Amino acid sequence: MPENEWIQGKRFYFLGIGGASMSALGKYVLNCGGELYGYDAVPSERTAELEKAGVKIYSSATIGEEEKAVINSAEKIVCTSAISKGNARFEECMAQGKNVTYRGEFLGEIASAFPCVVSVAGSHGKTTCTSMCAHIFLSAKKRFTAHIGGDDILLENYYRSGDDYFLTEACEYKKNLLYLHPSVAVLLNIDRDHMECYRGEED
């Protein structure tokens, strides 16, 4: 069992909760007994799924007093890399003196508690390969948790049958993959992508 018991009973607020990775991490928080709230500007199937599971999700252009109170009481604020300074919710978190943990860092925190981590990196094919690995582990009846950056037909973007293995995508955007310290690292390919984050192909 991973050492993520600290999640149980804690209140989380996710900025950009509708993203593939963010919603999967949200499901993990719920799975571990955490209390989850979130914001996303665009309602989607993912946000609807979380709302069905009891998550309160805000989507209005302005921040109401209720949401401000949720931010104030949240013990962990997790933010997608797509949101930064200038966003009204982000600024509200800053104004309240909250520490904001970005998605990649939070993924690394969760992964670090598992005895064996398999991370799939590359400019192309991460979701497909991670899904394939998850199906192999499922067929082999392994106890594992999968964090998938897209929607697998059977497993969707999150699956958990146990905590012996953690399967995850390792996103290169803003060097988020460096938050992961996997037991097994799978590198599919390298392309000249996200040059706003890297000095060049060698970097």
Task: Give the containing element (helix H, strand E) for 109.
Answer: helix 103-111
Cα(14)–Cα(23) distance, integer angstroms: 9
Query: Given 35, 67, 169, 172, which residue is catalytic?
Result: 169
Quick check: is 145 catalytic? Answer: no
Residues 89, 95, 101, CA angle at the centre, nearest 5°? 60
Here the tokens at position 36 are 């989850």
Quick check: is 126 catalytic? Answer: yes
Cα(22)–Cα(97) distance, integer angstroms: 22
Task: Give the containing element (helix H, strand E) for 166.
Answer: strand 165-170
Query: Given 10, 101, 127, 128, which residue is catalytic?
Result: 127
> Look-up: residue for tokens 């192999």?
136
Quick check: is 52 catalytic? Answer: no
Burial class for 44, CB neighbours closer than 10 Å (0-12, 13-18, 19+): middle
Residues 202, 190, 118, CA angle at the centre, nearest 5°? 115
Query: Given 67, 126, 168, 172, which residue is catalytic?
Result: 126
Task: Measure the N-to-C terminal CA separation of the chain; round to a whole number of Å.
Answer: 36
Cα(14)–Cα(34) distance, integer angstroms: 12
Residue positions annotated with a catalytic role: 126-127, 169
